[in-house]
Structure 1
């Protein structure tokens, strides 16, 4: 059933392996190492690649990795038991023989492997035949209740009975009719006593009456012949006042427009010239500067909490710091999951408070627990410091890109081949796609690239006019006469209501003919659940094949970032007819200047996609564009 079993060290040395088929498993194992182990995603012990499912187990004491590979269409329930058993067997041999420089023969361990595999398979078959067992009392919900909550008192019963009583009673006796029948059950002399319902208050303090009680009153009044009395008298509606003209405090007439007009960069005679802030010129040449994140939070102190037991209940002394209550010295012992659990819970709450999505925070803490379980701590190493240091390393590793996105280098390479470098921007509504496209455009023309902006947002009113305004500002900063009379920025637009994919295709063709270096494609904002617009975006990317697809997301979002990125990637994959669909290549994180040290959205986005954050928007001017500094972000996140 198992296609591959291998044991290798974290340094990459294969210690033992067994392969039952002729299939090449190297790409799958390398993908596991690259995408899971190196990217700190070891919380889930299963990974799928092509048609294979790979399950693994880490030995942190000896830095070993045990990997099993089999076809993912198979449902093998014994793999976890097999990995645990083979792990224990190999640990004993590794500890007793390899540390003393003695090697064992492959044949000897092959026998152990076969025996453990057969035992695990038999255990799986036996488990499949067993009927489903009922849960024990300890597993039931009733066992979680306290004794006090299950004690019923006499006063409680009387109150419940009183509440359940019928609120109206008949006083009097039945009167026989003239023919001896019970014709006249209720005479006019008999009195019907009705207990008025007590008003009930809701959470907001509003008083209302129980509709069931009101229905009972109606029934009683019907039998007694009494007329219904209105509880509340409806107040007459006030007459609708007519619309009154608004009176402005600082009103004026058309004659005052000249004195109120304060626009500094308005077009002269409706021309293309706009007086711009020339102090921005020359600030964006070369690479983009790294982001600096400042935090006013106080770092946690390294004081160790003393826990004193009184009557077997821990009494904790208060001290500063986020994790101080869990710090205790551990000397030369193996780290267990129970030791890390309080620290991990506190760290998870801290990450969620810093805007990390809750699912991502849970997976990160599970990955840290898997990585540290079984590790030997030194005499003066505390659990809290070890867990925090490991989590910090994991966060830096996640934010560090697997591949470097060098737009300037790629643009020069495309220019050598005589074609424009194409970048497409996508994202949800209102995140700042057009604004950050203009910032990136300014950075590109600062590095002497001619840029063509393709206005493919044909839905939002004012989208083309916004890009036209940016184009005028950018051309004012870099006039054509300074660049051999060539316009540095040009807008390609076909108006509204047109096919975005077709406009992008025509823009790329026009850029190639007019010798533009880079094409920036602005797309319409769309929600991740809007299927028609997601299909249109997929068509644009599939038809035009841009070099870089950037997802523009806000730094303000928390859990929503996960849903947006997952569904965007899923839509680009599902609606594309290609076997290798083009999904998101990088992320532009906007509005980063509005979140202080709550930088968790960066972790959520990179963890979900595995793609780097290429640009970070930090303000409202063209120079407010930075590149992500992983260590600075993690430092702010862990404070």
Structure 2
């Protein structure tokens, strides 16, 4: 059943392995190491790669990894028990060698492996539920019915009535006594008696008829009409009057159409002080935490013969300062620390699911680790989480746009970047910031206005184009502008406009094409299909998702559904999904920087740019250590 079982150290030394097939498992194990162990995603203890399912167990005391691989179509219930048993068997057998770190690759472990596997398989068979078999006709209730049992008798009806009375709450004491009917009392006077021998007499019947005739003659009593208040007259909808909204006389000064003469236009002078500030690479982001909590010190305690009262610390983990030991960590020891840690991460805007997965991963990574004499549980968990967060935010691959643009320029083709995201996150604004950074590095940029849905989207880009060209006017001996807008108006196919813009950029020798797309919610299927079509048809070099730093759980939902839509609607075996993230409005969140963790954790893609303001120079690159420092405050 098992295709592969291997034991290796976290340093990469294979201690022992067993392989039952000729299949090559190296890519799958490498994918497990790269995508799970190094990226701090060890909470699930299961990983799927191609047609294989890999289950693993970490030994944090000796830094070992136990991995089992089998076909994912199989449902093996004994794998978890097998991993636990084989882990204990290997530790007990080679504990002395592992403590001395005298690792070698010729462990005699074949017989214990086969014995442990056989016991685990037998346990799995015993635990498997046997499917319930159908009853035969002779065993069924229907076969016991006879003709005699289907005949109804009076005694059976009485018994059933008694049972019904019991259900309705009748007294049990009164059940045996027959219930007598109430007979109306007959008065002494025969004239006044309405009943005579159980029947109405003639006088009573005549009186009843007279009453009925009188009632029909008078008719039903009319209810007193209530005085209803008169309905208010319908008032038409009044237009809203805004304060300082102006009058018709101000229309001439507010007119900004193309047909207006150039002489009447008034432009604000360009701020030339920002020219030259964005040359070279993007500067790192600096995050300052406003928290007044002090970091706890990791210094050892003073000598035992001179005890001192512990100082009160306001840090997040100060309540666990006293947990010091020289023993291996257990899950119950870390649970209070991890609960406090999860609440702290959620308060810093990390999505709830991501915070839980991070805590589970830290628990798996630290379980069984032996603490030193002066190491506390809180400081160990905090240091491990800090390293994990830095590892998550550190990009697995470097996105160097300047280098890639120069390489594309050598091949005489433009470097294409597409921006996507939900409504109102700042796609056009941050596109203009990136455009300013590119022209500062002497790249000619063509902006493709593919937002053909939102009113004013093309005009917004045209305004940015004018401002950028005012900051970087063409040289005297050349009439080539640094920024140009390619637009075809509204209501057109965005994918077709992007294709035409790329072809135009190739012919006009533009270096970079920036494609601005319409904002769309992640649940809008027609617009998501249109976005997938644009990316599939034009194959941009870089697809950037623009998201807000203000959101927490919503960021996870947006990214997951955008990626899923791009994969589903592209109808391709190798779809082009999101390559990087632009995190906007970072200047509005203080030290609640958890959205960066959520977005990077869920996609595994790097945060390429961070928007920190409303000017062209407010563009930074993510500094992982600074963000984690603010997050852990």
**Superposition TM-score tier, normalisation by shorter sequence:** 0.7 to 0.9
Q: How does 1:334-413 map to 2 (within 5 A)?
A: 334-413=328-407
- Is residue 267–residue 273 contact of structure 1 (8 Å, CA) maintained in 2? no
- 1:299, 1:182 → 2: CA distance? 96
Offset of residue 571 of structure 1:
1.0
Q: How does 1:95-174 map to 2 (within 5 A)?
A: 95-99=95-99, 108-129=108-129
- Is residue 15–residue 107 contact of structure 2 (8 Å, CA) maintained in 1? no
Match of 1:307 in 2: none
Offset of residue 80 of structure 1:
0.4
Match of 2:502 in 1: 508
Match of 1:72 in 2: 72
Cα RMSD of the aligned pairs, angstroms, is 3.3
Offset of residue 482 of structure 1:
5.3
Once the two structures are superposed, residues 445-493 of structure 1 have per-residue CA deviations (whole angstroms, 9 ceiling, x without a partner) of 0000000011111111111111111111111111123583211111111
- 1:478, 1:2 → 2: CA distance? 65
Select the residue among 536, 539, 544 that pairs with 1:550: 544
Structure 1: runs of 5+ lacking an equivalent: 133-172, 184-224, 305-315
Offset of residue 575 of structure 1:
1.4
Offset of residue 543 of structure 1:
1.1
- 2:376, 2:223 → 1: CA distance? 76
- 1:427, 1:249 → 2: CA distance? 34
- Is residue 419–residue 545 contact of structure 2 (8 Å, CA) maintained in 1? yes
Match of 1:291 in 2: 285
- 1:22, 1:229 → 2: CA distance? 97
Rate the CA distance shift 1:402–1:267 in 2: closer, same or farther, 3 A: farther
Rate the CA distance shift 1:92–1:276 in 2: closer, same or farther, 3 A: same
Offset of residue 242 of structure 1:
5.9
1:564 aligns with 2:558: yes
1:178 aligns with 2:194: yes
Match of 2:161 in 1: none
Once the two structures are superposed, residues 303-361 of structure 1 have per-residue CA deviations (whole angstroms, 9 ceiling, x without a partner) of 89xxxxxxxxxxx9986332222222322101111111001000100000110000000
Give secondary structure in 2 for the equivalent of 1:68.
strand
Rate the CA distance shift 1:117–1:268 in 2: closer, same or farther, 3 A: same
Give secondary structure in 2 for the equivalent of 1:330.
coil
Offset of residue 506 of structure 1:
0.9
Match of 1:33 in 2: 33
- 2:89, 2:471 → 1: CA distance? 71
- 2:313, 2:231 → 1: CA distance? 62
- Is residue 62–residue 99 contact of structure 2 (8 Å, CA) maintained in 1? no
- 1:267, 1:124 → 2: CA distance? 85
Report how many residues are paired.
Answer: 545
- Is residue 174–residue 182 contact of structure 1 (8 Å, CA) maintained in 2? no
Once the two structures are superposed, residues 408-466 of structure 1 have per-residue CA deviations (whole angstroms, 9 ceiling, x without a partner) of 00000000011000000011111111111011000000000000011111111111111
Once the two structures are superposed, residues 385-413 of structure 1 have per-residue CA deviations (whole angstroms, 9 ceiling, x without a partner) of 11111111111110000011000000000
Give secondary structure in 2 for the equivalent of 1:73.
coil
Once the two structures are superposed, residues 40-85 of structure 1 have per-residue CA deviations (whole angstroms, 9 ceiling, x without a partner) of 1111100011111110000000000001111111101110011001
Rate the CA distance shift 1:227–1:612 in 2: closer, same or farther, 3 A: farther
Select the residue among 621, 625, 629 that pairs with 1:631: 625
Q: How does 1:515-554 map to 2 (within 5 A)?
A: 515-554=509-548
Structure 2: runs of 5+ lacking an equivalent: 133-181, 186-192, 201-219, 299-309
Match of 2:413 in 1: 419
- 1:486, 1:556 → 2: CA distance? 40
Select the residue among 474, 478, 481 that pairs with 2:468: 474
- 1:293, 1:341 → 2: CA distance? 30
Rate the CA distance shift 1:411–1:88 in 2: closer, same or farther, 3 A: same
- 2:327, 2:231 → 1: CA distance? 79
Match of 1:5 in 2: 5
Offset of residue 129 of structure 1:
3.5
After TM superposition, where is structure 1 displaced by more than 3 Å over at least 4 residues in a row? Answer: 97-108, 129-132, 173-177, 179-183, 225-230, 232-262, 266-275, 316-319
- 2:71, 2:107 → 1: CA distance? 26
Once the two structures are superposed, residues 203-236 of structure 1 have per-residue CA deviations (whole angstroms, 9 ceiling, x without a partner) of xxxxxxxxxxxxxxxxxxxxxx999999x99876
- 2:222, 2:344 → 1: CA distance? 64
Rate the CA distance shift 1:330–1:483 in 2: closer, same or farther, 3 A: farther
Rate the CA distance shift 1:404–1:100 in 2: closer, same or farther, 3 A: closer
- 1:272, 1:30 → 2: CA distance? 62
Rate the CA distance shift 1:75–1:179 in 2: closer, same or farther, 3 A: same
Match of 2:144 in 1: none
- 1:366, 1:234 → 2: CA distance? 68
- Is residue 348–residue 591 contact of structure 2 (8 Å, CA) maintained in 1? yes
